[in-house]
C-alpha cells in the first residue's frame, strides 16, 4: 500500500484515470471520445518532451468542469529502462514516487467519484458503450436482485469453467455456447454483472480492438510485435474505489527494461459484454514502421477490419499465435469477440476522424 490518501465521501459516478508521457499523437482524440461518458477525467503526466502539456491545457479549457490535469514531477522508472535503472527500480521501497505504480496511485488519490477506470491515451472510446457503465456507477437507486440473475450466474460460471479447464489442459477445450444462446443469455449476465459491481462484489474487466493503418484499417494478429486482435480483457478494469484497491509494482527479471504496475483487487472479475475502444498502439510513430515490416512480410497476419467484424470466435481463436499470446489471453479474447463484435460495426465511423501521419 502507498502513502497516498484516498478521498472520503465520494459521490456516485465514474472517474477516468489517465497516465501520460509524450502522448501528443492521440491524446486529444482520446479525451474527446471519452469525456462525455465520464463524470471526470484525471490526467497525470510526467517528463514530456512533445506537445502533450499544451494539448492537455487546450482540452482543460475545452472541458473545464470535467478534465483535471496534474504534473507528476518525479523521474518515473517505468518503461524502456537501462539495466542500471531497472535494478534501481526493483530496489526502491514500495512507496517510492519514482515507481510507475505510484504515479497510478497518485492519480487514484485525486478521484472524486465512487468508481474509477483506467483510460489509456492511445484509445478511441465507444462513447455510448462507456456511458452505459457510467450510468450504472451513477445510479442512486441500486439494481434490485431478481430471479434472472440465476441465468447470469450460470453464464458467469460457464465462462469461469471454460477458462479454468482450458488452462489446466493447456488448450481451448470447451465448446462455446451457440451464438444465438449467448445473445439471449448475455442480457441476464450483463445485468447480473452490473448488480455485482454496484454491491462491490465484482470488478468489471473491459477490452478494445487493436488496429493498424496501412491505407485502410486492419486488425493485427502480429506474432512478432505481439499485437493480438484485442487488448485489455484482463488488466483494464471498472472498480469501486476503496482502501482495498491500489496499484503495486510488477516486474519480470527476464524482461529487464520495464517495471510496471499490477492492480490489487479482491473482488470477482467479470467481463463486460462488449469492447469499449479502438486501440492505436501499433500506429504510434515509434511502432508503425516495425508493424508495417511485419505486415509486408506476413500479410495473412493482418485482417481487414470489414472482414474481422464478420469472423466468428473460433476463427479468431485459431488465428491467434500461441507463442505470443497466453492461453488465458486467447480464451479471454475469444469470449469478448463472441459476445461483443456485432456492436463494433456501429463504431467504425469513429475512425474517419483519425489521421495517421
148-169, pLDDT tens digit by residue? 999 999 888 888 888 888 888 8
Task: Express each pLDDT in 7-62 by its tens digit.
Answer: 767 899 999 999 999 999 999 999 999 999 999 999 999 999 999 999 999 999 99
Q: How far apart are CA 112 and CA 348, in angstroms?
A: 32
Assess whether pLDDT exceeds 70 at residue 3. Answer: no
The angle formed by the CA atoms of residues 117, 165 and 312, to the nearest 5 degrees, is: 65
Write the DSSP symbol of residue 261: E
Does the residue 2 lie in any domain?
A: no
Q: How far apart are CA 337 and CA 331, in angstroms?
A: 10
Tell me what pLDDT residue 174 has.
67
CB 322 within 8 A of CB 330: yes
Task: Express each pLDDT in 180-208 by its tens digit.
Answer: 777 778 889 999 999 999 999 999 999 99
Does the residue 1 lie in any domain?
A: no
Does the residue 3 lie in any domain?
A: no
Confidence at 141, pLDDT banded by 50, 70, 90: confident
Average pLDDT value for residue range 327-346: 86
Average pLDDT value for residue range 266-289: 93
Assess whether pLDDT exceeds 50 at residue 223. Answer: yes
Tell me what pLDDT residue 286 has.
92
- Higher pLDDT: 14 or 225? It is 14
Percent of the chain surpassing pLDDT 70: 97
- Number of structural domains (the chain) is 1
Does the residue 340 lie in any domain?
A: yes
What SS3 string covers 63-114?
CCCCEEEEECCCCCECCCCCHHHHHHHHHCCCCCCCEHHHHHHHHHCCCCEE
Q: How far apart are CA 222 and CA 324, in angstroms?
A: 9
Say which residue the cell 491545457 belongs to: 57
Q: What is the mean pLDDT of the chain?
A: 91
Does the residue 6 lie in any domain?
A: no
Domain housing 85: 11-353
Does the residue 4 lie in any domain?
A: no
Average pLDDT value for residue range 75-82: 92
Q: How far apart are CA 335 and CA 271, in angstroms?
A: 9
Percent of the chain surpassing pLDDT 90: 65
Amino acid at each position: 500500500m502507498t502513502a497516498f490518501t484516498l478521498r472520503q465521501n465520494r459521490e456516485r459516478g465514474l472517474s477516468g484515470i489517465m497516465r501520460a508521457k509524450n502522448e501528443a499523437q492521440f491524446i486529444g482524440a482520446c479525451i474527446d471520445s471519452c469525456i462525455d461518458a465520464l463524470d471526470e477525467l484525471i490526467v497525470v503526466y510526467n517528463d514530456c518532451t512533445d506537445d502533450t502539456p499544451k494539448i492537455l491545457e487546450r482540452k482543460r479549457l475545452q472541458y473545464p468542469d470535467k478534465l483535471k490535469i496534474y504534473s507528476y514531477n518525479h523521474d518515473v522508472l517505468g518503461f524502456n529502462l537501462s539495466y542500471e535503472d531497472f535494478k534501481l527500480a526493483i530496489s526502491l521501497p514500495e512507496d517510492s514516487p519514482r515507481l510507475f505504480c505510484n504515479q497510478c496511485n497518485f492519480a487514484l488519490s485525486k478521484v472524486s467519484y465512487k468508481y474509477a477506470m483506467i483510460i489509456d491515451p492511445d484509445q478511441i472510446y465507444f462513447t455510448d458503450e462507456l456511458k452505459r457503465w457510467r450510468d450504472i456507477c451513477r445510479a442512486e437507486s441500486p439494481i434490485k436482485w431478481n430471479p434472472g440473475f440465476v441465468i447470469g450466474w450460470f453464464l458467469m460460471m460457464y465462462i469461469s469453467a471454460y477458462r479454468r479447464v482450458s488452462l489446466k489442459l493447456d488448450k481451448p477445450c470447451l465448446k462455446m455456447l451457440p451464438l444465438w444462446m449467448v445473445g439471449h443469455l448475455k442480457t441476464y449476465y450483463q445485468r447480473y454483472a452490473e448488480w455485482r459491481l454496484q454491491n462491490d462484489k465484482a470488478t468489471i474487466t473491459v477490452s478494445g480492438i487493436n488496429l493498424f493503418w496501412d491505407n485502410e484499417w486492419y486488425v493485427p494478429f502480429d506474432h512478432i510485435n505481439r499485437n493480438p486482435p484485442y487488448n485489455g480483457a484482463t488488466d483494464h478494469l471498472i472498480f469501486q474505489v476503496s482502501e482495498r484497491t491500489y496499484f503495486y509494482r510488477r516486474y519480470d527479471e527476464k524482461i529487464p527494461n520495464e517495471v510496471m504496475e499490477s492492480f490489487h483487487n479482491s473482488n470477482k472479475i467479470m467481463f463486460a459484454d462488449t469492447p469499449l475502444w479502438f486501440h492505436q498502439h501499433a500506429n504510434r510513430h515509434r511502432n508503425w514502421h516495425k508493424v508495417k515490416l511485419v505486415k509486408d512480410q506476413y500479410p495473412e497476419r493482418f485482417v481487414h477490419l470489414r472482414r474481422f467484424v464478420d469472423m466468428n470466435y473460433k476463427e479468431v481463436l485459431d488465428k491467434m499465435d500461441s507463442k505470443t499470446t497466453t492461453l488465458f489471453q486467447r480464451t479471454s479474447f475469444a469470449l469478448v469477440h463472441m459476445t461483443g463484435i456485432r456492436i463494433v460495426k456501429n463504431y467504425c465511423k469513429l475512425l474517419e476522424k483519425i489521421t495517421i501521419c
